[in-house]
A and B are shown apart, each in its own frame.
Chain A
Amino acid sequence: MSKTRTISEKSMSERVSTAIFIALVVSFFLLPLIWLLLAPFDSAPSYRLHLSNPGLDNFKEMAQNPYAYRSLINSIVFSAGTGLAIILVGAPASYVLSRVKFKGRDGFLYILLLFSSIVSGSAAMVPLFLLALKLNILDTYHGVILVLTGGLLPAAIFILKDFTDSLPKSYEESAQIFGASSFRILKDIVVPVIRPGLAVIFVWTFVQAWSNFLVPFIVIRDVNKQPGAVMMYSFYNEGGQAVIRTVAAFALLYTIPIIVMYYYVNKKYGFRFYGGIKG
């Protein structure tokens, strides 16, 4: 009701300028993206935007490339591994931080918040490389997973702690009389209570790890262990025009899981601010 009034009250010039602004913004954001929708299906892809004889030949050619296929598997290993590690390490910690008022908790949270924003991947890449070298985890799957887990853990703990804060405590209080072991508490109390939060944090971590370029770029040298992020870069950085068919198909295949997961999180929980913390 108020909407129709707003529209009628708008002056002509206001509507025109709004339309022009939106048209410009949409073209600016859409134009670079169109290539990703057309080129994978183009029979002769190039940098140029066009679509002739659309088909799946590029995907067939990509399937012939053993590195392309393997890098996607590697991405799944890195992302799922990091997701699991974050849950294993982060869930118990955020549960305690939410439910137990221990001495120094606020200090702990303050330091965690501060350091997680100070120590960025760019500023800490030298010691991270040396750490991986000294721990003998260069060129290993668990090396990437460990470094990514370390980097994403603070943000994950904050998201999970906020989530746990919002849950009522009645269920856990009734369970405490058993004086259960820590494993039982974890299994029977913590996990059931924060399960929806765990799903979100897993998807969030998966997306961050899947897109992360810097960590595998530093930790992995062996081309057989590279994830999609680094493979995509090597394709266009070293391959030039020769592999553009593979690049086109690969770019789309590598992007789709991210779009699907964002869609899922958005639909279920609203992702508005979860993507804001970049690796």
Chain B
Amino acid sequence: MSKSLKTGSQAKKPGNSVLRGGVASAFLTPATLFIFVFLFIPAGWTLYLGITDYKLTGLSAVNQKIIGLANFQKALHDPQFLNSLKVTIQFTLGSAIFGQAVLGFLLAWVLSTVSKRLRSAVELIVICAWMVPSSVVSFLWVAFLNGDNGTLNLLTGLHLQWLIKYPLQSIIIFNIWRGTAFSMLLFSAAIAAIPKSHLEVARIAGATKFQQLRQIILPTARPFILTNLLLITLWTFNDFGPYLITGGGPGGKSELLSIFVYNSALRYLDFGYGSAIATMMLGMNLVLSLIVVTLGRKQQKKK
């Protein structure tokens, strides 16, 4: 960003800019309008709805009114919401932080030591899991975990209804499978940026793999690790994908906050309550995004 700032300030001199002011604003207006309507208004509207009793059914459908923080107080005593919050935290910690980040790092590290051919082949398979559309991969996992003749039962010789007995564990494993590619690619780039000579020297000095990891790879990759953790936490926290596999069930055992919002607002048409939950999600997103963006700016400035 600092580079573009420099060219920008040069362009500021009169006669050096390609575009006159009028043209510039004409070019910028449609995008600004879109962002206003589809980003700012939804954010503001969520906050507003969260303090109303707006429902699409019943009395308050005609007569919606502001009820302050009642929705939030209700949430704090709603076992379904508290369960959903717990499920979301377990899902995010398990699949993003412990799953995708750790497996992605291990993959990037191990693949940096094997032949290019093997590396591309393995990467391709991991990336496939990431790019196939979500409704297709969801069905693939429904088939994979099927109780009668799903692949997992055939391989293990068990006859388990995985999605009914272990719904949360299932979507955690699914999401590790689904999203590890991103962390793998990011850490691969980080490891590739380490000068070969550093690792060479360490090896000649007799450092074990573990020592190389701790003393060279991890310190160099640290900024990448932090960015990666924040980004995948943000995405996983907001993920709606598991709805396509379990629908949040059975009995709310895999009901992530995104699914909880969908169910309360768009299925049971309680817009006020759903929006209050969505407001809490926006708050969490704000905290995470602020850290990501601030960190990103700091790193840009260092360059």
A positions within 8 Å CB-CB of B = 2-3, 6, 9-10, 14, 18, 21-22, 25-26, 28-36, 39, 46-49, 88-90, 92-93, 95-102, 105-106, 110, 112-131, 146-147, 149-151, 153-154, 157, 161, 165, 169, 172-173, 175-176, 182, 185-186, 189, 207, 210-211, 213-214, 218, 228-230, 232-233, 236-237, 247, 251, 254-255, 258-259, 262, 272-273, 275-276, 278
Contacts of B257 in A (CB 8 A): 122
Contacts of A161 in B (CB 8 A): 4
Q: A213 and B177: CB pair below 8 A?
A: no
Q: B46 and A213: CB pair below 8 A?
A: no
Q: B285 and A123: CB pair below 8 A?
A: yes
The number of residues on chain B lying at the interface, defined by a beta carbon within 8 Å of a beta carbon of chain A, is: 109
Interface positions of B from 168 to 193, Cβ below 8 Å from A: 177, 180, 182, 185-186, 189
Q: How far is the CB of B113 from chain A (nearest CB, A)?
A: 7
Quick one: which of A33, A36, A272 contacts B185, CB cutoff 8 A?
Answer: A272
Q: A31 and B151: CB pair below 8 A?
A: yes
Interface positions of B from 228 to 272, Cβ below 8 Å from A: 231, 234-235, 238-241, 244, 247, 257-258, 261-262, 265-266, 271
Given A92-B27, A129-B266, residue A122 in contact with residue B18 (CB < 8 A): no
Q: How far is the CA of A175 from the CA of B23 in the complex (A)?
A: 15
Q: How far is the CA of A207 from the CA of B247 in the complex (A)?
A: 24
Q: How far is the CA of A229 from the CA of B134 in the complex (A)?
A: 8
Q: A93 and B31: CB pair below 8 A?
A: yes
Q: A115 and B46: CB pair below 8 A?
A: no
| B51 close to A (CB within 8 Å) | no
Q: How far is the CB of B32 from chain A (nearest CB, A)?
A: 8
In the complex, 12 of the A-B residue pairs with CB atoms within 8 angstroms, ordered by the A residue number, are: A6-B113, A29-B128, A93-B30, A93-B31, A100-B17, A119-B39, A123-B282, A126-B49, A127-B275, A154-B35, A182-B27, A232-B139
Please give me the residue from chain B that is nearest to A252 by CB atom: B136
B positions within 8 Å CB-CB of A = 3-5, 7-9, 11-12, 16-19, 21-24, 26-28, 30-32, 34-35, 37-43, 45-46, 49, 103, 106-107, 110, 113-115, 118, 122, 125-144, 146, 148-152, 154-155, 177, 180, 182, 185-186, 189, 196, 200, 203, 209, 231, 234-235, 238-241, 244, 247, 257-258, 261-262, 265-266, 271, 274-275, 278, 281-282, 285-286, 288-290, 292-293
Given A122-B281, A123-B261, A275-B130, residue A247 in contact with residue B113 (CB < 8 A): no
